[in-house]
A and B are shown apart, each in its own frame.
Chain A
Amino acid sequence: MSLAIPNGLDNTVERPGERAPLVLGETTYHDITEAVCKVAERPPSKGWIGGFLVAFALLQVLGLLIVYLIYTGVGVWGNRAPIFWGWPIVNFVFWVGIGHAGTLISAILFLFRQEWRTSINRAAEAMTIFAVACAGTFPGIHVGRAWLAFWLAPYPSLNLWMWPQFRSPLLWDVFAVSTYGTVSLLFWYMGMVPDLATFRDRSKNKYRRMAYGLLCLGWSGSSRHWMRYEKAYAILAALAAPLVLSVHTIVSFDFAVSQVPGWHTTIFPPYFVAGAIFSGFAMVLTLMVPARKMLNLEKLITIRHLENMCKIILATGSIVGLAYGTEFFIAWYGQVPAEQFAFLNRAFGPYAWAYWTMVSCNVISPQIFWFKKARTTPWIIVVVSIFVNIGMWFERFVIVISSLSRDYLPSAWAYFTPTWVDWGMLIGSFGLFFTLFLLFCRTLPVINMAEVKATLAKQEHMAHLHGHGEEASEGH
């Protein structure tokens, strides 16, 4: 498969003393507006309709299974003694991990002035919010009596006469995930307001114009507004950066604060955060590589963007690999028999198949990104990113299931078997995710037009300084 590089320029080549262009072709501001708005304005393609129908059907599966679960009870899952945290928690940690890339790209890369984030941050943030929505579903129904899930909130209850227990990581988790969901939503929405104004101003239909007019809050593009807006954006980015690190740290406390062998380790917070970034970027790539092709956004989401994300996958994948190794080292070095058994059991016990699937997908498969050819070939990127998604699901499976299935009480040991409801809910959660994502593609700006235009302005400004780009680059 050839590199699809518009107008022949390869922006993955590093030219000393020059920034690689992030917007390709003879692009004007208006071209950017056209390219992005067309995605939502033109009639839906057959591919979109087909994809939406499949995703929507899967969403119905999830909804019906939740009704079935609530009506029947949690016995419909494969959760049996001693494995009471079965697939629902595996799925929760999987989805909440995926939800880390969006805010990371928006906040941390923004603070580090990584301008290549501008073309991908909107879709990544949307992905974050949809992934957090999927994640939030699972603990909500895992509490057993889902209609009483509001007991998690610290409210003056007349039925309970008691308060939540704030020394429990599970309660910290409630606060962390809900704060993360809320702040991500604010961040995403605020970033979208100027682009929603563009949608409003292009609308021919009166009601469409009114709807986008309401959504964009009457944005006019005033410089005074822009000044405060940029300040607010920078503050939100600075707030979201530690937040995104705290969320998976607290999720890891759910495990690390317990005393189950294989969970009770101090490496969990950094290891979980690296894994979350890893899986999140993999999901961004899984979505963006086909999307840029189908939505004709190749000039804006360039091969260089993909290559940069591949480098992050390679780095975080290697961190995760190092963490796997460190866990074994600490188990040996710590000389706690239960801990040592837990890790030997992971690698060579009844769940060895899951463990080695995880290692091959997470540690071995991203190593192909050492080669530039692999980093710049879309189909290889998609294949590896799907491998990483599978591997990261298995990582959570290995952590949750293998540790619980064989803990301190050998007479209670058991092998976990998922039921059809477990399978249905995992697949259904992808239905929820893709339904939301496909709706997002059709109704909201998939790329941050204002930021890309600002990047283009900067790029042109630099080209001016270098004496009109082309000649200067030939001189090198």
Chain B
Amino acid sequence: MSETKIETTVHGMMAEFTTVDSLLSACRRIRDAGYTKTDAYTPFPVHGIDKALGIKPTALPWICLIAGATGTCIALAMQIWMNSIDYKYIISGKPYLSLPAFIPVAFELTILLASFGAFFGMWALNGLPKFSNPMFTDPRFDRATDDRFFLYVDAGDERYDANGVRNLLADTGSDYINEVVEDDSPKEVPKPVFLIWGLSVAASLVPLICILTMRVTNSSKPRFHIFFDMDFSPSKDAQQVTSLFADNRAMRSDVPGTVARGQMEESLDMLTGIDVEALTLSDPPRVQRLVRAYMLADDEAKAEEKEAVDAAEAAPASVMDTTPWVEKNPLNVDAELLAQGQQQFAIYCSVCHGMDGYGNGLVNQRAQSISAPTWVPPASMHQETLYADKYPDGKLFSTISNGIRKMPGYAGQIKLKDRWAIVAYVRALQKSQNASLDLVPESEKAAVEAAVTEAKAELKRQAEEAEKAAAARKQEQP
């Protein structure tokens, strides 16, 4: 036994005590004897032992303060950068940098980092985790975490002398004194633990490697969709068939009785082009039908109305003729409205009726050139039957909205006010082809005459230029 003792390194001497008081008095004696490299091991914190052993206070609170202040700074910098500089959110019109809103997160991060400082700082200052400790070689030391108190004198102390320390400790009333020797237990981690640790580390790397591989390689395969219906919504397009509804239509009409935004803002006169007050006297049921069709979005009433109007086209003395139409455009006709009407006319009407309204638009030209058999030529706006006295504004509006002969109704495409603007523009177009200077107010006459003269001169000049150019070309060519 003595042989093994010589070979192992002696770390120091420990003594066991059974009470706090005996430990404290032993500590004081050891301290008074001049030993400095000493320590006590107790199952719970013993108060007064730092004084008895001469332990200095710790710097931990400072670490904590610095960590906490770092947390505050990080949190404020992060929030200011993210919400006030890099990606500015407008929230209730508040300034981008509104400090009060940033306080909660700053507070939480301060606490978080200060706690990290206290927690990790404490372990670092204590030199833990440290799994090999010469103290643990003595089986009696297991009770240091149960009910025994140990005093330890390190062999590195300059006053250390094995026998002297042993005697001193025996004097303090300790009944168990032993030398602390090098931990001779195998240093390597037992194989099964190592294996499990290695396997779990390897396994934990697998997903990471998979992700990294996928990020750096190209794949021709389509993306994998975990939730297919979230990436590709099963919603239907307007004209598709669905089994959800009895009529198999994906596109739904308004719920009867509902009124869309803006729908009821206009009068029935404006919506239909009919003088409803007059119609009330002559045909009350039709007024009711119009109210249901136009103001309550009742599809059935709409269909009935359309049937009646369609039937009218065939019969000579029809509902179209007996209807009291609105005589005057309900909108305020001014240059702005005419410009709006001109624009809408150019978009929707001119393709058939032509920009000038003579009924020779591009579609008509094409239809004539291929002699389309079912083609009904579009009407010219410049026939007298379509003038305001024979074809009132309301009737023209109704024709645009509901269509006539082969022409479809444009109520779905052209907004209500735009349709009335087109009516106003068509009236202007009609006037433009059949106007005399008498229609112009006296004050404007001179200006118009000047403009006409100028335009005529310009035309003449252009014609002369063209003639000259043609003559020049003739001379060049033999």
A: residues with CB less than 8 A from B are 28-30, 33, 145, 147, 154, 162-167, 169, 171-172, 175-176, 179, 182-183, 186-187, 190, 194, 197-198, 200-202, 206-207, 210, 213-214, 217-232, 235-236, 239-240, 242-243, 246, 250, 253, 449-451, 453-454, 457
Q: Given the interface contacts A222-B41, A453-B44, does A172 sit within 8 Å of B104 by beta carbon?
A: yes
A450 CA / B144 CA spacing, docked (Å): 11
B107 close to A246 (CB less than 8 A): yes
Q: Given the interface contacts A202-B146, A223-B42, A223-B55, does A246 sit within 8 Å of B119 by beta carbon?
A: no
CB distance from B401 to the nearest CB of A (A): 33
B46 close to A183 (CB less than 8 A): no
Q: Given the interface contacts A175-B104, A179-B111, does A217 sit within 8 Å of B129 by beta carbon?
A: yes
Known: A194-B145, A218-B132, A235-B118. 11 other contacts (CB 8 A): A29-B43, A29-B146, A30-B147, A33-B146, A166-B105, A179-B108, A223-B45, A224-B55, A250-B104, A253-B104, A454-B45
A235 CA / B62 CA spacing, docked (Å): 11
B: residues with CB less than 8 A from A are 20, 39-46, 49-50, 53, 55, 57-58, 60-61, 64, 68, 78-79, 82-83, 86-87, 89, 91, 94, 98, 101-102, 104-105, 107-109, 111-112, 114-116, 118-119, 121-123, 125-126, 128-133, 135-136, 142-147, 150, 190, 193, 226, 230
B40 close to A222 (CB less than 8 A): yes
**Which residues of B sit under 8 angstroms from A246, Cβ to Cβ?**
104, 107-108, 111
**Which residues of A sit under 8 angstroms from B53, Cβ to Cβ?**
223
A49 CA / B40 CA spacing, docked (Å): 42
A243 close to B111 (CB less than 8 A): yes
B41 close to A223 (CB less than 8 A): yes
**Which residues of B sit under 8 angstroms from A210, Cβ to Cβ?**
190, 193
**Which residues of A sit under 8 angstroms from B79, Cβ to Cβ?**
166
CB distance from B146 to the nearest CB of A (A): 5
A190 CA / B128 CA spacing, docked (Å): 12
**Which B residue's beta carbon lies closest to that of A451?**
B44
**Which A residue's beta carbon lies closest to that of B86?**
A163
CB distance from A124 to the nearest CB of B (A): 18
The 7 closest A-B CB pairs, nearest first, are: A29-B147, A163-B82, A232-B122, A217-B129, A201-B142, A172-B104, A198-B145
State which of A226, A239, A450 has its C-beta within 8 Å of the C-beta of B111: A239
A165 CA / B107 CA spacing, docked (Å): 17
Pick 14 A–B contacts, CB within 8 A, sort by A: A154-B82, A163-B86, A166-B105, A179-B111, A198-B146, A210-B193, A214-B131, A217-B128, A220-B136, A221-B42, A223-B49, A231-B58, A232-B122, A454-B45
**Which residues of A sit under 8 angstroms from B142, Cβ to Cβ?**
201-202
**Which residues of A sit under 8 angstroms from B132, Cβ to Cβ?**
218
**Which residues of A sit under 8 angstroms from B150, Cβ to Cβ?**
221
A232 close to B119 (CB less than 8 A): yes
**Which residues of A sit under 8 angstroms from B107, Cβ to Cβ?**
242, 246
**Which residues of A sit under 8 angstroms from B44, Cβ to Cβ?**
194, 226, 449-451, 453-454, 457
Interface residue SS majority, chain A: helix
A235 CA / B133 CA spacing, docked (Å): 28
B91 close to A218 (CB less than 8 A): no
**Which residues of B sit under 8 angstroms from A223, Cβ to Cβ?**
39-42, 45-46, 49-50, 53, 55
A239 close to B114 (CB less than 8 A): yes
B104 close to A227 (CB less than 8 A): no
State which of B41, B94, B101, B109 has its C-beta within 8 Å of the C-beta of A220: B41
Q: Given the interface contacts A202-B142, A236-B115, does A450 sit within 8 Å of B43 by beta carbon?
A: yes
B146 close to A228 (CB less than 8 A): no
**Which residues of B sit under 8 angstroms from A175, Cβ to Cβ?**
104-105, 108-109
A289 CA / B87 CA spacing, docked (Å): 53
CB distance from B14 to the nearest CB of A (A): 11
Q: Given the interface contacts A167-B101, A223-B55, A239-B115, does A30 sit within 8 Å of B108 by beta carbon?
A: no
A230 CA / B44 CA spacing, docked (Å): 10
A451 CA / B125 CA spacing, docked (Å): 22
Q: Given the interface contacts A198-B43, A221-B41, A235-B64, does A166 sit within 8 Å of B112 by beta carbon?
A: no
A231 close to B122 (CB less than 8 A): yes
A454 CA / B150 CA spacing, docked (Å): 16
B43 close to A453 (CB less than 8 A): yes
A33 close to B122 (CB less than 8 A): no
**Which residues of A sit under 8 angstroms from B230, Cβ to Cβ?**
145
**Which residues of B sit under 8 angstroms from A29, Cβ to Cβ?**
43, 146-147
B45 close to A230 (CB less than 8 A): yes
**Which residues of B sit under 8 angstroms from A183, Cβ to Cβ?**
111-112, 115
B118 close to A239 (CB less than 8 A): yes
**Which A residue's beta carbon lies closest to that of B149?**
A221
**Which residues of B sit under 8 angstroms from A239, Cβ to Cβ?**
68, 111, 114-115, 118
